[in-house]
Amino acid sequence: MNTKLRGKHFITTQDWSVQELKTIFELAKLLKLEFAAGKINHSLDGKTLGMIFFDASTRTRTSFESAMTQLGGHGIYFAPQTMQISHGEGAKDTAKVLSSYLQGIAVRHCTYGEGNRYLNELRQHSSSPIVNMQCDVYHPAQILADYFTLTEHFGDNLRGLKLGVSWTYAPNYIRPLSVPQSLILMMPRFGIDVTLAHPPEFKLMPDIVAQAEKNAAESDATFRITHNMEDAFADTDAVIPKSWGPIITTTDQTAGLALIEKYPQWICDQGKMDLARKHALYMHPLPADRGKEVTAEVIDGPHSVIYQQAENRLHVQKALLSLIMG
């Protein structure tokens, strides 16, 4: 394990070595046991995390704010409209000032073409670690929880585990690419074989796909892309069916919604789950569009671990914050 992580930014798991990521998971395991036993951990006494939310949040805000409280620290919620950001203050001035007050700055900014660029500009000028709570490219904290949940079911060595990541139908608004992109990047680094399924118009960023292929090759894992949803379920140990927008094909809202409406049959139902192994897990980062992305039979069924997965956001984030802010 590499425990010398104080001050390290967390914008993408690509910036962290496998050994550094394993340190997060080892600590998360300990902190989760302490939480279950009612043991109080004060590793972040006197520390403050500023959390800037350009986008709405339920699980992310609650889990990060609770993490700071449970570690003895404090989380401050910021909405940009309540800050000088709304009057045009740039990332440089925001980073320099806030990092003189705070021991960590966390940001959720999912606007395509803006979010990741903003996070990296903050990183350039901040003296405190920057944490990505989701941007237009990555959602690294979610993927930590996903991996941690898999280890709780299949053990610490996940080499050879088969994971299916599939696009699903979900109308009304365009979801970011960040969850599937973070999944295909990190999971192969631990030897997990990943199948990504999506309709042709719902491709991911080419540079992310190229990096995922490189990660898989370097870890002797497999990564393949298919346009058949059933391929992401066949003979898999776990599936993460999740909607995202056709952003690489078009950024026009009307055209994007029309493309989504072409594929209402891309729903996770029991028939597709029956293609997976008997012990297969159904996972989803939530919120799930019930009846559109997934049937009640699956999301409320015996394969579903969505609430365990959601709870694990708290534990992996406590571990992350302890390591970089402690």
pLDDT tens profile 181-209: 999 999 999 999 999 999 999 999 999 99
Residue type, 315: H
| Residue pointed to by tokens 């393949």 | 224
Residues 269 and 296 sit within 8 Å (Cβ to Cβ):
no
| Same fold across 13-139+313-325 and 142-309 | yes
Give the whole-number percent of the chain exceeding pLDDT 70.
Answer: 100
pLDDT tens profile 93-145: 999 999 999 999 999 999 999 999 999 999 999 999 999 999 999 999 999 99
Continuous segment of H or E residues that includes residue 116: helix 115-125
Continuous segment of H or E residues that includes residue 208: helix 206-218
In the predicted structure, residue 1 carries a pLDDT above the cut 90: no
pLDDT tens profile 143-159: 999 999 999 999 999 99
Give the pLDDT of residue 212: 98
Give the pLDDT of residue 267: 98
Structure confidence at residue 174 as a pLDDT band (50, 70, 90): very high
User: DSSP code of 132?
Assistant: E
Give the pLDDT of residue 136: 98
Question: How far is 28 from 22, CA to CA, in rounded Å?
Answer: 10
pTM (2 decimals)?
Answer: 0.97
pLDDT tens profile 263-281: 999 999 999 999 999 999 9
Give the pLDDT of residue 135: 98
Residues 197 and 164 sit within 8 Å (Cβ to Cβ):
yes
Q: Which two tokens mark 162?
A: 């088969």
Q: Into which CATH architecture does domain 13-139+313-325 fall?
A: 3-Layer(aba) Sandwich (3.40)
Give the whole-number percent of the chain exceeding pLDDT 90.
Answer: 98
Residues 105 and 126 sit within 8 Å (Cβ to Cβ):
yes
The closest alpha carbon to 203, from 147, 253, 283, 259, belongs to 259
Mean pLDDT of 77-84: 95
Report the b/e string of 145-177 with b at 16+ CB within 10 A.
Answer: bbbbbbbeebeeebeebbbbbbbbbbeeebbbb
Give the pLDDT of residue 5: 97
Break the chain into its structural domains and give their ranges.
13-139+313-325, 142-309
Angle between helix 140-154 and 306-325 (nearest 10): 120
Could you tell me the end-to-end alpha-carbon distance of the chain, in angstroms, rounded to an integer? 17
Question: How far is residue 41 from each of residues 32, 37, 166, 233, 318, measured CA to CA in Å?
Answer: 11, 11, 38, 40, 10
pLDDT tens profile 9-31: 999 999 999 999 999 999 999 99
Mean pLDDT of the chain: 97
Mean pLDDT of 218-236: 98
User: DSSP code of 80?
Assistant: G
pLDDT tens profile 245-269: 999 999 999 999 999 999 999 999 9
For residue 67, the tally of other CB atoms under 10 A from its CB is 24
Question: How far is 270 from 13, CA to CA, in rounded Å?
Answer: 33
Which residues, at least 6 apart from 53, have a Cβ–Cβ distance to it below 8 Å? Answer: 61, 77, 78, 79, 80, 107, 108, 133
CA torsion sign, 22 to 61 to 131 to 194? positive
Question: How far is residue 97 from each of residues 16, 73, 101, 127, 156, measured CA to CA in Å?
Answer: 26, 20, 7, 10, 41
Give the pLDDT of residue 2: 77
Q: Into which CATH architecture does domain 142-309 fall?
A: 3-Layer(aba) Sandwich (3.40)
